[in-house]
Amino acid sequence: MTNNVERAKAAMLNISQSLGLPEHYPEDLNKDLESLSSSKGGKWLWLLRTCGTVLVPLQVGVHPTYVNYWLHSNHGQKVICFVVDLDKGLVTQTTFEEAERLIEQPPKTINSSMSQEQLANTVHSVLEEGCERQLWGIFESPTSVEAFGSWQKWQSYFHSTENKVMADFMAKAVRFARTHQNQIGQAL
Protein backbone atom coordinates (compact mmCIF):
# COMPACT_ATOMS: atom_id res chain seq x y z
CA MET A 1 0.00 0.00 0.00
CA THR A 2 2.82 2.42 0.86
CA ASN A 3 4.14 2.24 -2.71
CA ASN A 4 0.68 3.04 -4.08
CA VAL A 5 0.31 6.03 -1.76
CA GLU A 6 3.70 7.35 -2.84
CA ARG A 7 2.82 6.77 -6.51
CA ALA A 8 -0.44 8.72 -6.08
CA LYS A 9 1.35 11.56 -4.28
CA ALA A 10 3.97 11.75 -7.05
CA ALA A 11 1.20 11.86 -9.66
CA MET A 12 -0.51 14.70 -7.77
CA LEU A 13 2.72 16.69 -7.68
CA ASN A 14 3.24 16.14 -11.42
CA ILE A 15 -0.33 17.15 -12.24
CA SER A 16 -0.05 20.27 -10.08
CA GLN A 17 3.22 21.28 -11.76
CA SER A 18 2.02 20.57 -15.29
CA LEU A 19 -1.19 22.58 -14.80
CA GLY A 20 0.47 25.37 -12.83
CA LEU A 21 -2.12 25.01 -10.07
CA PRO A 22 -2.59 26.17 -7.45
CA GLU A 23 -1.34 29.64 -8.32
CA HIS A 24 -2.06 30.82 -4.77
CA TYR A 25 -1.93 28.91 -1.48
CA PRO A 26 0.39 26.16 -2.75
CA GLU A 27 0.78 25.01 0.86
CA ASP A 28 -2.63 23.36 0.44
CA LEU A 29 -0.97 20.76 -1.77
CA ASN A 30 1.59 19.98 0.95
CA LYS A 31 -1.25 19.48 3.45
CA ASP A 32 -3.01 17.18 0.99
CA LEU A 33 0.10 15.05 0.59
CA GLU A 34 0.52 14.86 4.38
CA SER A 35 -3.11 13.79 4.74
CA LEU A 36 -2.62 11.00 2.23
CA SER A 37 0.56 9.81 3.97
CA SER A 38 -1.33 9.27 7.20
CA SER A 39 -4.53 7.90 5.66
CA LYS A 40 -5.90 4.37 5.68
CA GLY A 41 -6.22 4.30 1.90
CA GLY A 42 -9.42 4.41 -0.08
CA LYS A 43 -10.57 6.91 -2.65
CA TRP A 44 -10.41 10.68 -2.34
CA LEU A 45 -11.80 13.55 -4.36
CA TRP A 46 -9.18 16.18 -5.12
CA LEU A 47 -10.00 19.61 -6.49
CA LEU A 48 -7.07 21.53 -7.87
CA ARG A 49 -7.97 25.22 -7.93
CA THR A 50 -6.44 28.56 -8.81
CA CYS A 51 -6.40 29.43 -5.10
CA GLY A 52 -5.55 26.20 -3.30
CA THR A 53 -6.85 22.67 -3.25
CA VAL A 54 -9.61 20.62 -1.67
CA LEU A 55 -9.03 16.99 -0.70
CA VAL A 56 -11.83 14.94 0.84
CA PRO A 57 -12.19 11.22 1.44
CA LEU A 58 -15.03 9.52 -0.39
CA GLN A 59 -17.74 7.28 1.03
CA VAL A 60 -17.37 8.44 4.62
CA GLY A 61 -20.18 11.01 4.76
CA VAL A 62 -18.23 14.24 4.27
CA HIS A 63 -20.64 17.13 3.78
CA PRO A 64 -21.07 17.55 -0.01
CA THR A 65 -20.76 21.33 0.26
CA TYR A 66 -16.98 20.98 0.65
CA VAL A 67 -16.94 19.98 -3.01
CA ASN A 68 -20.18 21.29 -4.47
CA TYR A 69 -19.39 24.88 -3.51
CA TRP A 70 -16.37 24.82 -5.82
CA LEU A 71 -18.25 23.07 -8.59
CA HIS A 72 -21.27 25.35 -8.76
CA SER A 73 -20.55 28.80 -7.39
CA ASN A 74 -19.36 31.84 -9.26
CA HIS A 75 -15.97 32.23 -7.54
CA GLY A 76 -13.91 32.95 -10.67
CA GLN A 77 -11.40 30.18 -10.10
CA LYS A 78 -10.27 27.44 -12.40
CA VAL A 79 -11.22 24.09 -10.84
CA ILE A 80 -10.15 20.67 -12.08
CA CYS A 81 -11.42 17.48 -10.39
CA PHE A 82 -9.53 14.26 -9.81
CA VAL A 83 -10.15 10.95 -8.09
CA VAL A 84 -7.19 9.75 -6.05
CA ASP A 85 -7.25 5.98 -5.53
CA LEU A 86 -4.68 5.17 -2.87
CA ASP A 87 -5.29 1.43 -3.10
CA LYS A 88 -4.18 1.45 -6.74
CA GLY A 89 -1.87 4.47 -6.66
CA LEU A 90 -3.84 6.23 -9.40
CA VAL A 91 -4.96 9.80 -9.93
CA THR A 92 -7.53 10.27 -12.69
CA GLN A 93 -9.27 13.41 -13.89
CA THR A 94 -13.04 13.42 -13.61
CA THR A 95 -15.95 15.68 -14.54
CA PHE A 96 -17.86 18.03 -12.26
CA GLU A 97 -20.89 15.76 -12.65
CA GLU A 98 -18.95 12.67 -11.58
CA ALA A 99 -17.34 14.56 -8.68
CA GLU A 100 -20.80 15.58 -7.49
CA ARG A 101 -22.09 12.01 -7.81
CA LEU A 102 -19.11 10.66 -5.86
CA ILE A 103 -19.34 13.14 -2.98
CA GLU A 104 -23.05 12.39 -2.58
CA GLN A 105 -22.58 8.63 -2.13
CA PRO A 106 -23.48 7.23 1.29
CA PRO A 107 -20.63 6.01 3.48
CA LYS A 108 -21.79 2.38 3.42
CA THR A 109 -24.53 0.38 1.81
CA ILE A 110 -27.20 -0.75 4.23
CA ASN A 111 -30.34 -2.65 3.38
CA SER A 112 -33.33 -4.32 4.96
CA SER A 113 -31.88 -7.81 4.53
CA MET A 114 -29.06 -7.06 7.00
CA SER A 115 -29.35 -8.61 10.43
CA GLN A 116 -29.88 -6.26 13.33
CA GLU A 117 -26.27 -6.91 14.41
CA GLN A 118 -24.87 -6.22 10.92
CA LEU A 119 -26.86 -2.99 10.73
CA ALA A 120 -25.69 -1.86 14.18
CA ASN A 121 -22.06 -2.70 13.41
CA THR A 122 -22.14 -0.90 10.07
CA VAL A 123 -23.73 2.27 11.44
CA HIS A 124 -21.42 2.24 14.46
CA SER A 125 -18.33 1.91 12.24
CA VAL A 126 -19.46 4.85 10.06
CA LEU A 127 -20.11 7.07 13.07
CA GLU A 128 -16.89 6.00 14.78
CA GLU A 129 -14.75 6.72 11.72
CA GLY A 130 -16.41 10.10 11.21
CA CYS A 131 -15.78 11.06 14.83
CA GLU A 132 -12.18 9.83 14.78
CA ARG A 133 -11.41 11.71 11.58
CA GLN A 134 -13.48 14.76 12.61
CA LEU A 135 -15.37 14.71 9.34
CA TRP A 136 -18.47 16.58 10.46
CA GLY A 137 -18.68 20.19 11.45
CA ILE A 138 -16.58 23.04 10.15
CA PHE A 139 -15.38 24.27 13.54
CA GLU A 140 -16.43 21.50 15.90
CA SER A 141 -17.04 17.90 15.01
CA PRO A 142 -18.59 15.30 17.30
CA THR A 143 -15.77 13.40 18.98
CA SER A 144 -17.51 10.17 19.94
CA VAL A 145 -20.34 7.93 18.81
CA GLU A 146 -22.00 8.60 22.17
CA ALA A 147 -22.11 12.35 21.45
CA PHE A 148 -25.80 12.18 20.60
CA GLY A 149 -26.88 8.89 22.13
CA SER A 150 -29.37 7.59 19.60
CA TRP A 151 -29.49 7.17 15.87
CA GLN A 152 -32.47 9.54 15.73
CA LYS A 153 -30.41 12.24 17.45
CA TRP A 154 -27.55 11.65 15.01
CA GLN A 155 -30.07 11.99 12.19
CA SER A 156 -31.27 15.29 13.69
CA TYR A 157 -27.69 16.51 14.02
CA PHE A 158 -26.95 15.78 10.35
CA HIS A 159 -30.24 17.35 9.33
CA SER A 160 -29.38 20.49 11.33
CA THR A 161 -25.97 20.76 9.64
CA GLU A 162 -27.62 20.16 6.24
CA ASN A 163 -25.46 17.10 5.55
CA LYS A 164 -28.08 15.37 3.43
CA VAL A 165 -25.85 12.36 2.72
CA MET A 166 -25.51 11.49 6.40
CA ALA A 167 -29.06 12.55 7.32
CA ASP A 168 -30.40 10.18 4.65
CA PHE A 169 -28.01 7.40 5.75
CA MET A 170 -29.15 7.71 9.36
CA ALA A 171 -32.85 7.91 8.35
CA LYS A 172 -32.43 4.66 6.46
CA ALA A 173 -30.66 3.06 9.45
CA VAL A 174 -33.45 4.16 11.79
CA ARG A 175 -36.09 2.81 9.40
CA PHE A 176 -34.36 -0.59 9.10
CA ALA A 177 -33.84 -0.80 12.88
CA ARG A 178 -37.57 -0.19 13.41
CA THR A 179 -38.37 -2.92 10.87
CA HIS A 180 -36.21 -5.34 12.88
CA GLN A 181 -37.95 -4.34 16.10
CA ASN A 182 -41.39 -4.86 14.51
CA GLN A 183 -40.35 -8.29 13.19
CA ILE A 184 -39.09 -9.33 16.63
CA GLY A 185 -42.36 -8.12 18.20
CA GLN A 186 -44.43 -10.11 15.67
CA ALA A 187 -42.39 -13.28 16.31
CA LEU A 188 -43.15 -13.17 20.04
The rounded distance, in Å, linking the Cα atoms of 114 and 116 is 6
**Residue 149: C-alpha distances to residues 49, 103, 126, 144 (Å):** 39, 27, 15, 10
Window from 50-54, 122-126, 134-138 with minimum mean pLDDT? 134-138
Query: pLDDT class for 168, splitting at 50, 70, 90?
Result: very high
Q: At residue 146, does pLDDT exceed 60?
A: yes
CA 48 to mean position of chain CA atoms: 17
Looking at residue 138, its pLDDT comes to 65
Looking at residue 122, its pLDDT comes to 97
CA 175 to mean position of chain CA atoms: 23
> Which of 97, 83, 1, 95 is closest to 43 using CA atoms?
83
Looking at residue 73, its pLDDT comes to 77
> Which of 144, 108, 153 is closest to 126 using CA atoms?
108
The pTM of the full predicted model, rounded to 2 decimals, is 0.87
User: In the sheet that 52-57 helps form, which strands lie side by side, from edge to edge?
Assistant: 52-57, 43-49, 79-85, 90-94
Query: pLDDT class for 120, splitting at 50, 70, 90?
Result: very high
pLDDT digits (tens, 9 = 90+) for 14-49: 999 999 999 999 999 999 999 999 998 899 999 999
Q: At residue 180, does pLDDT exceed 90?
A: no
The larger pLDDT score, comparing residue 7 to residue 68, is at 7
**Residue 112 in contact with residue 179, Cβ under 8 Å?**
yes
Looking at residue 123, its pLDDT comes to 97
